[in-house]
C-alpha cells in the first residue's frame, strides 16, 4: 500500500510549506501498517466520493487534506475538509498527519 498525503490551509498557512508526503508500506512497522490498512477498510476509502462536502461559510481556517491510496491494483484520491463527522475518517487523517510530521522532521 502507498499513500500520498497533502495538507493545506489552517490559520497560518504558507503554501510553500504544504509539501505532499508519500507513505509506503515498506517504511512502516507491522503495527503501523495494520492500523492504516484497518482504517482504510473501515472508512471504505475506495468508495468515498472524490470530494467531501464543501466547508461551511466562514471556514477559511480549516484544513483541507488530499489523500491518494494505492493498494491491490486500485487507486483512489479523496479531498477532505475539516471538520469530519466520521470518527474513523478523522482517525485516519490524524495518523497520516502524525506520520507526515515525522517524515518532515529533521
| Cβ proximity of 94 and 43 under 8 Å | no
Residues constituting the chain? 106
Residue 48 grid coordinates: 468515498
pLDDT at 80: 92
Looking at residue 16, its pLDDT comes to 47
Task: Count the Cβ atoms, other than its own, within 10 Å of residue 70.
Answer: 16
CA atoms within 13 A on the CB side of 71: 21
- Any bridge partners for residue 51, and if so which? 79
Q: What is the pLDDT of residues 49-69, one digit of tens each?
A: 998 766 666 656 788 899 999
Report the pLDDT value the prediction gives residue 5, as an integer from 0 to 100. 94
Lowest-confidence segment of 19-23, 37-41, 93-97, 101-105 by average pLDDT: 101-105
Q: Where do the domains of the chain lie?
A: 2-104
Give residue 20's pLDDT: 87
pLDDT band, very low/low/confident/very high, at 85 (cuts 50, 70, 90): confident
pLDDT band per the 50, 70, 90 thresholds, residue 22: very high
Q: Quote the mean pLDDT of the chain.
A: 85
Amino acid at each position: 500500500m502507498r499513500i500520498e498525503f497533502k495538507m493545506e490551509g489552517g490559520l497560518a498557512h504558507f503554501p510553500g510549506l504544504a509539501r505532499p508526503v508519500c507513505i509506503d508500506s515498506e517504511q512502516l512497522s507491522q503495527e503501523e501498517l495494520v492500523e492504516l490498512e484497518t482504517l482504510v477498510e473501515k472508512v471504505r476509502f475506495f468508495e468515498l466520493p472524490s470530494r467531501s462536502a464543501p466547508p461551511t461559510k466562514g471556514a477559511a481556517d480549516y484544513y483541507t487534506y488530499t489523500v491518494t491510496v494505492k493498494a491491490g491494483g486500485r487507486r483512489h484520491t479523496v479531498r477532505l475538509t475539516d471538520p469530519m463527522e466520521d470518527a474513523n475518517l478523522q482517525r485516519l487523517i490524524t495518523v497520516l498527519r502524525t506520520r507526515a510530521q515525522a517524515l518532515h522532521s529533521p
